[in-house]
Amino acid sequence: MAYNDEIAKRIQHALALIPENFTEKKMFGGVAFLYHGKMTVGVVKDELMVRILDNKMESALRQEHTRPMDFTGKPMKEFVFVSQNGFRSEEQLQLWIELGLEHAKSKLQ
C-alpha cells in the first residue's frame, strides 16, 4: 500500500465542499491534490502531507502529531507530515487543507 486510500477519500470529500478546482497527481509515493498545479495536501502511507507558508511553519510544527517532511533525512522546505491523530475530525482535516490551499494560492500571485 503506497498510501491510505481512506484518507485520500476524506480529502476528496472535503475538497468537494470548496468552490475551487483541484487535480490529483501521484507524488512522493502517494497522492497529492493540486490547486492550479500547486500542491496543497496529499497522502503518503498513513500520513497527511501539507504545504505550509514559511511564516506558518513554526506554529504548524508546534501542533501535536506534526513533524517536518523528511524523505531524505533532511526536512523539505514548507512541507509537514501530520499523523492520523492530528486530523481525526473533519474540522481538523479542513484546517490542514486550508493551510495547504493558502500556500498554493500564494504561489500564484
How do residues 92-107 score in pLDDT, each as one tens digit? 999 999 999 999 999 9
Q: Range of 61's domain?
A: 5-106
Our count of domains for the chain comes to 1
d(CA 85, CA 24): 24
d(CA 33, CA 92): 17
pLDDT of residue 39: 96
pLDDT of residue 34: 98
pLDDT of residue 1: 53
d(CA 86, CA 7): 12
As given in the structure block, the three cell numbers for residue 1 are 500500500
How do residues 52-94 score in pLDDT, each as one tens digit? 999 999 999 999 999 999 877 888 899 999 999 999 999 999 9
Residue 14 has pLDDT above 80, yes or no: yes
Which CATH number covers residue 16? 3.30.1460.30
As given in the structure block, the three cell numbers for residue 54 are 514559511
d(CA 48, CA 3): 10
Amino acid symbol at 44: V
Return the SS3 of 66: strand
pTM of the entire structure?
A: 0.93
